[in-house]
Amino acid sequence: MNERHIVALGGGGFSDGQDAGIDGFVLGLAERARPRICFLPTASADSAEYVVRFYEAFRERAEPSHLELFGRPRRDIRDFLLAQDILYVGGGNTANMLAIWRVHGVDAVLREAWERGVVLAGISAGSICWFEAGVTDSFGDELAPLRCLGFLPGSNCPHYDSESQRRPTYRRLVDARELPPGLAAEDGVGLHFVGTELTEAISARPDARAFRVQPSAEEALPVRRLG
């Protein structure tokens, strides 16, 4: 089996223009100098502005493309995604994204791509989706638990510092066993998994943190600072 990588970002990356270092880390996991990187903007309803920001961030360093699922999707989704070196999932409504992926079989293709060694990465919704479950605002103002793809064990919470209700809600849901124990990441932190094991947390921001969260316990994790 090929080495499998997932980088789950708590927030940041190219989406806010502050984390070129963490996107460079993602690109460095591919085996070629100019990797083929495909953006999946499904959670933002294929936002044209978001897609433009993706191309602006990666066109000098990679061979960017994107997959649209709103409107009339392309017929060769599986072949198109499996031809990439990196699949990068954007933020937005996680529940809607997962539902649309299932309708078009993208969830199954993503697992196949991961098992073949295609690097998976994503921000916010693109972080939560890889885990068994996560905490989401997909259903309205109140945060709620959501079952996800289950490539990675446990649960996930992004935006642990930038959205005031994320931390207390995630702690409460884990304490109540409504979510399994898991990992929380502040904006600008990437959780790097090889296979299903967390190998390290990384960040280009000087004070960004990551945590392992269990019932009645929260443990800060070491974060490697990127140059």
CB 135 within 8 A of CB 172: no
Note if 124 is an active site residue: yes
CB 154 within 8 A of CB 180: yes
Distance of alpha carbon 49 from alpha carbon 67, whole angstroms: 14
- Cα distances from 85 to residues 5, 132, 139, 141, 210, in angstroms, run 11, 24, 33, 36, 27
Active-site residue, selected from the candidate residues 5, 127, 155, 159: 159
Distance of alpha carbon 97 from alpha carbon 62, whole angstroms: 25
Note if 159 is an active site residue: yes
Structure-block tokens of residue 175: 């304490």
Active-site residue, selected from the candidate residues 124, 127, 138, 155: 124
**Catalytic center residues:** 124, 159
